[in-house]
C-alpha cells in the first residue's frame, strides 16, 4: 500500500504543468537524438545540462531521463530504416530490423520495437519501485570504506567493459579523477592545479567537460569525413500494428528482454548496449529457428529493443539508492542533481520522496508519450533523417557554445569545452576511451573524500577496506576483475564485448 | 603505425610525470592524514606507470598493431583541415563574443560554419543563420533569461 501511496505522490508531482512540459521535451529530444546519427544520448544530455540549471531539480532529472530512454526508442528507427544505429544500444536491431524493412515489413518492425520498449519500460519501472527502497535502507549502513570500494568496483566494471586496451581505459580513469579533483581542497582550502585562474577554483564544470568530450569531438569526427547523404528506404511504411503471429513470436522475447535488461542495467558498468547484445544472444539460443536470425526474425528486434529500454531504467537503481552512477549517462544525472544541492544516495528516498517517486511517475508517463510520438509520427522522424549533416552540425555546435556560456555567463566555460573537445577528438583518433574518464571525473571528488575519511577512521591503515564485509567483497571483485584481464582466455572474451554507450 | 600508438602513450606519460611532481609539491600528507596532493599523486603514479607499460608494449611487439585499428593512418584520407578551420572559427568567436555581442558574432559564426565545411548556397546559409539565431535567442535569452553580451553596437 505504501508503494501505491508514494506512486500517487509521484503522479501528483508529474502532473504539474512544468514537469509535464519537461517530460515531453525530454522524450521528444531523446527520440530526435535517437533518430539522428552523429549525436548520441550522452552528447545530447550534456548539451542540455546547462538548460536544466534554471529549472527545479525534479524537472531537470525528468527531462534528462526522458532524453535517455527516448533515445533508446528513437535509435531503433534509424536501425530499421537506414541500417545505421542512431545510438549504440540499437546496433543489434540493425541485424533483423533492416532485413524486415527490406522485405517490406518495416511497419511491424517499428511497431514491435515501440510496443516492446513500452512493455519493457513499464515492467522495469515495477522492478525499480520494488528493488530501490529496500536497497536504499541497506545502504544507510554504508560508511566511507563501503562507498570507496563500490566506486572502485563501478569504475573497474566500466573499464572492464571498455572496448580496446584495458591499460588505456585505466589511464583515462586515472586522468578523470585528476581533473575531477581540480579546484579547492575541501579540507585544507588550498588551491590545486588552478594555474592562477580564479574560474578554476570551483573546479572544472561537468557540463563543459562532457559537452566538449562527447558533443564537440563527435562533430569534429563527423566533419573530417565526407558528409554523404544517407539512403533511406523509399517504400511507404504501412501496417505499424504487428499482427497476431508477430505478437505470438515476440511476447516471450519481450518478457525475457525486460528481465535480463533490468538486471544488467542495475550492475555497475552494465547498461543498454550490453543488455541488447545479451538479449539477442539469448533469443538466438532459445529459438527453434536460430537460422532465421539475421534474416528478418521479429524476435531479433523485440528482445534487444525491450532489453535496452529495461536496462536504461534499471540503471536508476544504483544511482538513486547508493548515489553511485553505473554508467556515464547516470553520472550526468548525478551531476545534474548535485548542481541543485541534492546528493543521490540512501537518504534520497526519505529526504526527497518527491524526486524519487516523481522520476518514476514521469517514466510511466514518458513511456506513454513515446508510444504516441514514435508510432503515429513515424513519418515525421523519417523526414528528420533526411536533414543533411552540413545543416545539422552548425546547429549542434551552436547549442554547445551557448549551452556552455549560459552556465556561468562566461566565455571561460566555452573555452574549457573547446579544449576538451579537441582532447576528445584526439582521444578518439588515438583510441583512448572517454567513458571511463567521465565516470571517474564525476566520482573523483567522492572517491577522494571516502578514501581520506576511511584512512582517518583506520588511523592510516588500508586494511579497513578488507576488514568490513561489504567493502571487502567490493575490493575482492575489483581485484579479481583486474586480474582476469591479464588471463589470456578471459581477455579475449572481454575484447568481443561491445562498447558501452559513450 | 606504431608511431601513433607511441605518440599517445608519450603524451600521457608526460601528463602523468608533470602531475606527480606538482602533486608532490602540493603536499602528500601521511596515510593518517592525507594532504591536498595525495589523490593526485596516486592517480598520476598510476597514469605514469600504465602509460610507460603502454609505450613499452610498442617496442616489445605485444601491442599487435597489425590486428588493431591503430594500424590505420590517422590523418590520411580525412579532412582534418576542415576540423582545424572550424576550430579556428570557434576560437575567434570566443575571443570576439563579448566585444561584438551575441547576435552579431553568432550570425558571423553561423555563416562561417554553413559555408566553411561544405559548399552551401549563400541564401541558404543566411536564411539558416537567421532562423537559428532567432530560435536560440528565443530559447536562451527570452525563455531561460541568459544575459548575453550586447557588444559595442548595443544589440
In chain A, where the domains are located: 2-229+241-495
Q: Which of A50, A164, A171 to mutate: most B Cβ within 10 Å?
A: A171
Q: How many CB atoms lie within 10 A of CB B23?
A: 25
Q: Single out the residue of A390, A248, A316, A297 nearest to residue A100, CA to CA.
A: A297
Q: Is B124 helix (H, G, I), strand (E, B) or coil?
A: helix
A192 has pLDDT over 90: yes
What backbone phi and psi angles, to 5 degrees, belong to A224? -80, -15
Per-range mean pLDDT, top range of A269-273, A438-442, A473-477, B74-78: A473-477
Give me the sign of the Cα torsion angle A166, A38, A438, A65: negative
Whether residues B35 and A188 touch (CB distance < 8 A) is answered with: yes
Please work out, in degrees rounded to the nearest 5, the angle formed at the alpha carbon of residue A332 by the alpha carbons of A330 and A333. Answer: 65
| Chain A hits for B51, Cβ within 8 Å | 171
Whether residues A462 and B31 touch (CB distance < 8 A) is answered with: yes
pLDDT value of position B17:
96
Interhelix angle for A93-102 vs A106-139, to 10°? 160
User: Which of B51, B83, B98 comes nearest A220 by C-beta?
Assistant: B83
Q: Could you tell me the pLDDT band of residue A346, with boundaries at 50, 70 and 90?
A: confident
| Chain B hits for A170, Cβ within 8 Å | 46, 50
Distance separating alpha carbons of residues A461 and A455, to the nearest angstrom: 6
Output A156 or B64, whichever has higher pLDDT.
A156
Q: Single out the residue of B1, B3, B68 nearest to residue A164, CA to CA.
A: B68
Task: Report residue A262 CA to chain centroid gap.
Answer: 13
Whether residues B12 and A175 touch (CB distance < 8 A) is answered with: yes
CA distance A274 to chain B (A): 22
* Number of inter-chain CB pairs under 8 A, A vs B: 155
Whether residues B94 and A409 touch (CB distance < 8 A) is answered with: no
Whether residues A226 and B113 touch (CB distance < 8 A) is answered with: no
User: Which of B82, B109, B114 comes nearest A223 by C-beta?
Assistant: B82
Are the beta carbons of A63 and A48 closer than 8 angstroms?
Answer: yes
B70 has pLDDT over 50: no
Whether residues B136 and A224 touch (CB distance < 8 A) is answered with: no
Q: How many CB atoms lie within 10 A of CB A386?
A: 9
User: What average pLDDT does the structure give for chain B?
Assistant: 85
Distance separating alpha carbons of residues A392 and B132, to the nearest angstrom: 11
A434's CB contacts (< 8 A; 6+ apart) are A172, A213, A214, A217, A424, A427, A428, A502
Residue identified by cell 527545479 is: A56
Q: Could you tell me the pLDDT band of residue B62, with boundaries at 50, 70 and 90?
A: low
Q: Could you tell me the pLDDT band of residue A178, with boundaries at 50, 70 and 90?
A: very high
pTM exceeds cut of 0.95: no
CA distance A493 to chain B (A): 16
pLDDT value of position B63:
54
Q: Single out the residue of B41, B15, B11, B14 nearest to residue B26, CA to CA.
A: B41
Nearest-Cα residue of chain A relative to residue B148: A409
Averaged pLDDT, A154-174 = 81
Burial (CB count within 10 angstroms: exposed 0-12, middle 13-18, buried 19+), residue B107 = middle
pLDDT value of position A502:
37
CA distance A23 to chain B (A): 17
Residue B29 is classified by DSSP as B
Q: Could you tell me the pLDDT band of residue A500, with boundaries at 50, 70 and 90?
A: very low
Give percent of chain A with pLDDT exceeding 90: 14
Per-range mean pLDDT, top range of A267-271, A432-436, A498-502: A432-436
Whether residues A193 and B132 touch (CB distance < 8 A) is answered with: no
CA distance B114 to chain A (A): 7
CA distance B131 to chain A (A): 11
For chain B, count helices (H), then strands (E): 5, 0
A374's CB contacts (< 8 A; 6+ apart) are A31, A73, A74, A77, A110, A114, A381
CA distance B60 to chain A (A): 16
| Chain A hits for B148, Cβ within 8 Å | 405
Q: Could you tell me the pLDDT band of residue B58, with boundaries at 50, 70 and 90?
A: confident
Q: Could you tell me the pLDDT band of residue A294, with boundaries at 50, 70 and 90?
A: confident
Amino acid at each position: 500500500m505504501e508503494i501505491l501511496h508514494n506512486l500517487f505522490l509521484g503522479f501528483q508531482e508529474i502532473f504539474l504543468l512544468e514537469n509535464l512540459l519537461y517530460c515531453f521535451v525530454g522524450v521528444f529530444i531523446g527520440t530526435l537524438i535517437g533518430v539522428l546519427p552523429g549525436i548520441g544520448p550522452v552528447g545530447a544530455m550534456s548539451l542540455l545540462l546547462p538548460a536544466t540549471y534554471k529549472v527545479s531539480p525534479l524537472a531537470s532529472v525528468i527531462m534528462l531521463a526522458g532524453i535517455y530512454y527516448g533515445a533508446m526508442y528513437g535509435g531503433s528507427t534509424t536501425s530499421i530504416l537506414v541500417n545505421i544505429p542512431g545510438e549504440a544500444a540499437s546496433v543489434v536491431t540493425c541485424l533483423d530490423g533492416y532485413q524486415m524493412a527490406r522485405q517490406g515489413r518495416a511497419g511491424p518492425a517499428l511497431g514491435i520495437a515501440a510496443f516492446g520498449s513500452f512493455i519493457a519500460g513499464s515492467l522495469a519501472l515495477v522492478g525499480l519501485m520494488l528493488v530501490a527502497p529496500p536497497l536504499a535502507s541497506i545502504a544507510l549502513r554504508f560508511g566511507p570504506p563501503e562507498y570507496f570500494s563500490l566506486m572502485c568496483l563501478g569504475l573497474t566494471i566500466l573499464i572492464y567493459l571498455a572496448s580496446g586496451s584495458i591499460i588505456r581505459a585505466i589511464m583515462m580513469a586515472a586522468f578523470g579523477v585528476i581533473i575531477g579533483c581540480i579546484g579547492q581542497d575541501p579540507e585544507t582550502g588550498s588551491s590545486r592545479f588552478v594555474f592562477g585562474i580564479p574560474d578554476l577554483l570551483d573546479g572544472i564544470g561537468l557540463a563543459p567537460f562532457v559537452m566538449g568530450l562527447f558533443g564537440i569531438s563527435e562533430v569534429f569526427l563527423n566533419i573530417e569525413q565526407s558528409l554523404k547523404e544517407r539512403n533511406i528506404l523509399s517504400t511507404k511504411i504501412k501496417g505499424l500494428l504487428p499482427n497476431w503471429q508477430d505478437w505470438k513470436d515476440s511476447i516471450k522475447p519481450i518478457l525475457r528482454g525486460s528481465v535480463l535488461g533490468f538486471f544488467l542495467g542495475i550492475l555497475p558498468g552494465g547498461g543498454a548496449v550490453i543488455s541488447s547484445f545479451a538479449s539477442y544472444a539469448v533469443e538466438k539460443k532459445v529459438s527453434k529457428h536460430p537460422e532465421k536470425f539475421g534474416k528478418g526474425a521479429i524476435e531479433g528486434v523485440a528482445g534487444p529493443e525491450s532489453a535496452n529500454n529495461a536496462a536504461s531504467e534499471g540503471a536508476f537503481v544504483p544511482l538513486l539508492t547508493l548515489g553511485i552512477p553505473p554508467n556515464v549517462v547516470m553520472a550526468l544525472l548525478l551531476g545534474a542533481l548535485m548542481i541543485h544541492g541534492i546528493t543521490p544516495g540512501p537518504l534520497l528516498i526519505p529526504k526527497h520522496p518527491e524526486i524519487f517517486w516523481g522520476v518514476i511517475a514521469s517514466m510511466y508517463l514518458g513511456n506513454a508519450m513515446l508510444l504516441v510520438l514514435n508510432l503515429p509520427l513515424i513519418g515525421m522522424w523519417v523526414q528528420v533523417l533526411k536533414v543533411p549533416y552540413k545543416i545539422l552540425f552548425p546547429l549542434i555546435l551552436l547549442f554547445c557554445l551557448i549551452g556552455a556560456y549560459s552556465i556561468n555567463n562566461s566565455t571561460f566555460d566555452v573555452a574549457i569545452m573547446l579544449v576538451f573537445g579537441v582532447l576528445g577528438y584526439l582521444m578518439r583518433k588515438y583510441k583512448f576511451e572517454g567513458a571511463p574518464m567521465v565516470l571517474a571525473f564525476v566520482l573523483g571528488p567522492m572517491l577522494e573524500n571516502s578514501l581520506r575519511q576511511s584512512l582517518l577512521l583506520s588511523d592510516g591503515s588500508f586494511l579497513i577496506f578488507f576488514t568490513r564485509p561489504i567493502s571487502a567483497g567490493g575490493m575482492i571483485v575489483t581485484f579479481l576483475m583486474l586480474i582476469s584481464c591479464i588471463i589470456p582466455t578471459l581477455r579475449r572474451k572481454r575484447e568481443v564485448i561491445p562498447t558501452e554507450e559513450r | 603505425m606504431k608511431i601513433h600508438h607511441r605518440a599517445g602513450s608519450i603524451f600521457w606519460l608526460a601528463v602523468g610525470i608533470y602531475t606527480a611532481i606538482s602533486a608532490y609539491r602540493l603536499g602528500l600528507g601521511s596515510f593518517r592524514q592525507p594532504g591536498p596532493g595525495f589523490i593526485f599523486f596516486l592517480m598520476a603514479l598510476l597514469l605514469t606507470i600504465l602509460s610507460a607499460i603502454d609505450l613499452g608494449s610498442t617496442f616489445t611487439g605485444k601491442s599487435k598493431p597489425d590486428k588493431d585499428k591503430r594500424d590505420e593512418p590517422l590523418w590520411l584520407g580525412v579532412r582534418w583541415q576542415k576540423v582545424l578551420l572550424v576550430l579556428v572559427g570557434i576560437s575567434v568567436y570566443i575571443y570576439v563574443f563579448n566585444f561584438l555581442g551575441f547576435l552579431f558574432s553568432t550570425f558571423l559564426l553561423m555563416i562561417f560554419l554553413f559555408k566553411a565545411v561544405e559548399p552551401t548556397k549563400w541564401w541558404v546559409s543566411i536564411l539558416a543563420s537567421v532562423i537559428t539565431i532567432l530560435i536560440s535567442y528565443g530559447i536562451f535569452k527570452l525563455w531561460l533569461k541568459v544575459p548575453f553580451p550586447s557588444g559595442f553596437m548595443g544589440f
